[in-house]
Amino acid sequence: MKLHKLDDKLSVAAQIAPGDARAIAQGGARTLINNRPDNEEPNQFSHDDARTEAEAVGLSYLYQPVTTPTIDRAAIDAFADSVAQSPGPVVAHCRSGTRCYLLWAAGKVLRNGADPETLISEATGRGFDITALRGVLERTKK
């Protein structure tokens, strides 16, 4: 499992597998956020199983499932608040890490006035396509 550090508090990752929570905790994370709805793919590690494993190794676990078309201001705020309120480093995961990155970037724009095009460019340089950020921001204006 590869972690992509977005800032001092948050790293994102692709779908975790059984056993990954221990490595996440050993890496210093305090909170694990799952942004992936259950059953997106057959045999996907369920959020209930991930929660059990995460809590067994001392991680706080939050299940905040979203799909890119359903990301709204409430989801953005819930994600940003969860990261901010964590007592330490956070790892968020989804299928590829892109939705988590998108939630983080949307929060940076809406809460901190970050430039969306700069964030999109930086994400591209890291191997993430968050061009959907434009549409997410447009939806939050309505």
Ranges of each domain in the chain: 4-141
Q: Residue 69, class by beta-carbon neighbours within 10 Å (0-12 exposed, 13-18 middle, 19+ buried)?
A: exposed
**CATH of the domain spanning 4-141, picked from 2.30.40.10, 3.30.70.270, 3.40.50.1220, 3.90.190.10:** 3.90.190.10
* Distance of alpha carbon 96 from alpha carbon 90, whole angstroms: 16
Tokens at residue 69, please? 């078309």
Q: Report the predicted TM-score, pTM, of the whole model to 2 decimal places.
A: 0.95
Q: What's the confidence (pLDDT) of residue 43?
A: 86
Alpha-helical segments (H) within 1-142: 20-26, 47-56, 73-85, 98-112, 116-125, 133-141
* Distance of alpha carbon 38 from alpha carbon 2, whole angstroms: 21
pLDDT in tens, the chain (142 residues): 899 999 999 999 999 999 999 999 999 999 999 999 998 988 889 999 999 999 999 999 999 999 999 999 999 999 999 999 999 999 999 999 999 999 999 999 999 999 999 999 999 999 999 999 999 999 998 6
Q: How many CA atoms lie within 13 A of 135 on its CB side?
A: 7
